[in-house]
Amino acid sequence: MTQSASEITVTPARDYGNEVGQGWPVVVAPAPGELLSSWLHRLAMANGIPPQYFGRVLDVAGADWSAKLDRNLPGRVLNLLVERTRLPAEEIDGLALHRDPLARLRVRLITGSGDARTSTARVNRLQYCPACLKEDRAPFFRRGWSLATRVSCFRHGCRLRDHCPACGGGIAPARQNRLLPQHFCVWCDADLRKPTLPAEYDVQRLERLIDDLLRMHVAGHGRHGKTSLPAMLGAACFTFNGQPTSISRLPHRVRYVLFRQLADGMTHLQKHSVHPAIDLWTRIARAAPKHSDLVASLSAEITSQITPGTKTRSRHPDSADLQQVIVRLHSNRRTSLATAMTAN
């Protein structure tokens, strides 16, 4: 715009679309292990759009639009995200939980009323580690936290949480209508990062065994032609509010008590149907102490095999020898875990 004594002349600026093209002005790189919905919330805020309204940009309806995309990412939405962010389709698709071998063990989403004071708003939707969020430069939610078999943080040893520590409302970042980071409660603006109590050793031991077994399943060690491990674990029903309920529908506080009872051998399963899942949980709980000893022995053997002795310290390890050690340890690991599972 220029101004003279006689008139003011306005020169049109370049069209915004021509300036940024089809891409969005700000692109946020997904963090390692981040959940799709968490990345979408951060992407929205970086571009000046509160998460509550970003669903409209993607043409996805509903208050919990991003949680739905976690479980079902349509091709049209994926293509739009690729076009606007210029990130590889594989990277974006890998953040979602669809085509998930652990789907039966993901925490179920329950739509609340939008009011933190009502009981429906207090049901868990997301769980998180407050210590992790506090360490994050830009707080984000992890994929691993969506597993119902996770009740503690493996990094910090503290319990997870699935509600606001101030008002008790559910964790629903997709309903944030202001440009606030994800560690603020959408209902009362309280900081979600208030510390939780340490998880008990026996609970963590059982939790780690289940996590290792699930990793083996995902890596292809599940028995072909048989019911998968996640399906069997998810089929077992526990008593909650007088009703048989699968673990994926239990709030965190109930799941933590359940793990503690399993570790102590004090829990009682509700038999939902004639299914080996009822016994599987108990057998895994009984195998947990043996599993920690197995991990320790494997670590010791690895150290002894790959650490040169005093007389051969200058000799470089032979790759063929190392490969044989790895194959042998892998075979021993599978045999020992199978023995621990069937011993009872």
pLDDT value of position 9: 54
pLDDT bucket at 109, cuts 50 / 70 / 90: confident
Rg, Å, the chain Cα set:
25
User: Across the chain, what does the average pLDDT equal?
Assistant: 81
pLDDT number for residue 240: 82
Q: Give the residue with greater pLDDT, 5 vs 98.
A: 98
pLDDT score recorded for residue 343? 44
CA pair distance 145, 169, nearest whole angstrom:
18
User: For the ranges 74-83, 87-96, 105-114, 236-245, which has the lowest average pLDDT?
Assistant: 105-114
Tell me how far the alpha carbon of residue 305 is from its chain's centroid: 35
What confidence category does residue 16 fall into, taking pLDDT thresholds of 50, 70 and 90? very low
- The more confident residue out of 288 and 191 is 191
Please say if the pLDDT value at position 62 is more than 60.
yes
Alpha-carbon distance of 305 to 198, in angstroms, equals 35
Q: What would the mean pLDDT of 88-109 be, rounded to a whole number?
A: 92
Instruction: Name the residue with higher pLDDT: 339 or 238.
Output: 238
pLDDT at 334 over 60: no
Burial category of 125 from C-beta neighbours within 10 Å (exposed 0-12, middle 13-18, buried 19 and up): buried
Distance CA 257, CA 67 (A): 26
Instruction: State the pLDDT at residue 315.
Output: 44
Residue with token string 């409302």: 169
* 131 confidence band (pLDDT: 50, 70, 90): very high
The yes-or-no verdict on residue 72 having pLDDT over 60 is: yes
- The SS3 of residue 94 is coil
Q: What is the mean pLDDT of residues 196-220?
A: 92
Residue 138 pLDDT level (bands cut at 50, 70, 90): very high
The per-residue pLDDT for 211 is: 94
pLDDT score of 18 more than 80: no
Q: Select from 30, 28, 31, 104 the least CA-distant residue to 71.
A: 104
- Residue 310: what pLDDT? 44
* % of the chain residues with pLDDT over 90: 53
Confidence of residue 63 (pLDDT cuts 50, 70, 90): confident
135: how many CB neighbours lie within 10 A of its CB? 12
Per-residue DSSP letters for 263-324? Answer: HHT---EE--SS-THHHHHHHHHHHHHHHHHHHHHHHHHHHHHHS--STTTTSPPPHHHHHH
- Cα–Cα distance for residue pair 97/36, rounded to 1 Å: 8
User: 3-state class of 170 per DSSP?
Assistant: strand
